[in-house]
């Protein structure tokens, strides 16, 4: 089992910035993908960004140029720097850790963008 602990969610005004963090512990496997998904009220969970253990990134079109994902393999941590936040970025952000065979999810951290 892998446990994921997220932090960094908050209430922020449009145009503001937030940084989300997630740390994995437990039965860590070396080849993995970490990332962030989000779920807005009444909508399905969607991809925000992922990063492989080799550093290959993937972003949703809606966040390209505004969000940056990074990771620290020594700390088993993944980060999401969110800039120029928009109202539509509001939602619960879930940390993801996994590979082709198994996936783990964090409890989620609330990001609210509101004036």
**Per-residue pLDDT tens listing for the chain (115 residues):** 999 999 999 999 999 999 999 999 998 888 899 999 999 989 999 999 999 999 999 999 999 999 999 999 999 999 999 999 999 999 999 999 999 899 999 999 999 999 9
Under 8 Å between Cβ of 81 and 93: no
Under 8 Å between Cβ of 46 and 39: yes
- Tokens 């590979």 correspond to what residue? 99
Under 8 Å between Cβ of 20 and 79: yes
Write the CA distances from 22 to 7, 19, 61, 80, 108, integer angstroms: 6, 10, 22, 9, 10
């Amino acid at each position: 089992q892998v446990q994921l602990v997220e932090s960094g969610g908050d209430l922020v005004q449009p145009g503001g910035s937030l940084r989300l963090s997630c740390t994995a512990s437990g039965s860590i496997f070396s080849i993995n993908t970490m990332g962030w998904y989000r779920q807005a009220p009444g909508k399905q969970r969607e991809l925000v960004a992922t990063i492989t253990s080799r550093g290959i990134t993937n972003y949703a079109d809606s966040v390209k140029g505004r969000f940056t994902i990074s990771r620290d393999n020594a700390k088993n941590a993944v980060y999401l720097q969110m800039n120029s936040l928009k109202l539509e970025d509001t939602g619960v952000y879930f940390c993801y850790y996994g590979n082709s065979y198994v996936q783990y999810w964090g409890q989620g951290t609330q990001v609210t963008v509101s004036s």
